[in-house]
Structure 1
Amino acid sequence: MGDEKRDVIEVLTHDHREVEEMFDELAAATDADERRRITDDVTIELVRHSIAEEAYLYPAVRKVVPDGDQIADREISDHAEVERILKELEKADAAHESFNTLVNRLIEDVSAHVEDEEGNLFPKLAEHADADQLLELGDKVQSAKRVAPTRPHPSAPNTPPLNKLLAPGAGLVDRVRDRLSGRGSD
């Protein structure tokens, strides 16, 4: 994907498809270690994606979309619930039935969130933002994902300016922990 310019809707829709593919892989996996690895990969992607949306997408939605505050608040609330599930999954034993229950809740919640974004938020954003704004947001989201945390931090701020200030530091710590543990390296 290099230096290719993509608008924010393309970037985020691509992320959605990647997560859906990981969910399919997770559903097919039977080995507990494999399920843990895939869940860690899903967590990394979802946390990075959420942080980028909260830092740049939702503030833009608040600014340019009619009823943008209401839409952004609902999306942030969805993220908070997903992050709570991810935090529980992080501690759960992948061989235990409760792990499967949490995975199913995660898939349901994320799927509903994706459907809402793609069916409601993205069309409204495309209608009210111009092409340059969408491209600029795409760049910002991609940059934010590169420095974002890779682990759930449910008590961290999820709105600017604090999320923009704190996320890169948490991201650095998470990436160091991931490197040392081998998490997300495959």
Structure 2
Amino acid sequence: MTTVQEEQDVIELLLSQHQQIKALFTRVNQSVGEPKRDAFHELTRLLAVHESAEEQVVHPAARDDAGDDVVEARLEEENEAKRALAALYDLGVDSPEFDARFAEFEAAVLSHALHEEQEEFPLLRTRTDPKTLVRMAGALRAAEAVSPTRPHPNAGENPVANLIAGPPLAIFDKTRDAVRDWRQSQKS
């Protein structure tokens, strides 16, 4: 018996994550206080692991199908997003500047996702064997499991940098997340 997860290909998985990201943008925009902070932290985690895993699995495969120019443009967008997300995280949701800067960030991320969906994914779909796309989904999930949960724009944006720096940064981030969550639970 196979599960839906085993049958899902990498493009379906990424499109599903894009929908989750859009929903989290909406939650952040519609929330205040602690719910806004929680939604932003969830968005930060999802974006960090999503982009890191894409850089390790999807973009290298897409180079053959979509070409260097398309992939390099996506990598530059992702690096800009990492810097913006790190700045937003440092700023905090309670800052008077947060909402305006978050709106700019949201527009850039949604534009990036649209570029992937229109330029990269269709070529992967038509030029890559369906079984390979399913295996890539498994590789993406594995990469996400050891990816940092915060943006680290200075760590690099290529597969080798992610493989070397990703796991130690992921351990640090996940430890920091656990301590933050524990502290918040103690306030309740």
> TM-score, normalised on structure 2?
0.90
- Could you tell me how far 1:2 is from its partner in structure 2? 8.1
Gap runs ≥5 in structure 1? none
How many residue pairs were aligned? 182
Corresponding letter in the other structure for 2:160:
P
Question: Separation in 2 of the partners of 1:90 and 1:162?
Answer: 22
Q: Which has the higher helix share?
A: 2
* CA distance in structure 2 between the partners assigned to 1:96 and 1:158 by the alignment: 29
CA drift at 1:70: 1.0
Whether 2:24 is the aligned partner of 1:22: answer yes
Counterpart-to-counterpart distance in 1, 2:5 and 2:35: 33
Match for residue 110 of structure 1? Answer: 109
Aligned to 1:151: 150
Q: Is the 8 A contact 1:33 1:94 kept in 2?
A: no
- Give the 5 Å matches for 1:166-185: 166-182=165-181
Whole-angstrom CA distance in 2 between matches of 1:166 and 1:47: 13
The aligned amino acid for 1:33 is E
How far apart are the structure 2 equivalents of 1:95 and 1:76? 30
Gaps of at least 5 residues in structure 2 are none
User: What is the CA–CA distance in structure 2 between the aligned matches of 1:10 and 1:167, rounded to whole Å?
Assistant: 24
Per-residue Cα deviation, 1:5-24 (whole angstroms, up to 9, x for no partner):
32110110110000111111
- Give the TM-score of the pair, scaled to structure 1: 0.91
> Would the aligned equivalents of 1:58 and 1:72 in 2 still touch at CA under 8 Å?
yes
Residue 97 of structure 1, CA deviation: 2.5
The CA deviation at 1:34 is 2.4
Cα deviation digits, residues 13-47 of structure 1 (max 9, x gap): 11000011111111211x23322221111010000
- With 15-24 and 89-98 compared, the bigger mean Cα shift is at 89-98
Task: Note the aligned Cα RMSD (angstroms).
Answer: 1.9
Distance across 1 between alignment mates of 2:126 and 2:5: 26
Contact kept in structure 2, 1:11 and 1:142, CA below 8 Å: no
Q: Kindly, what percent of the aligned residue pairs are identical?
A: 27
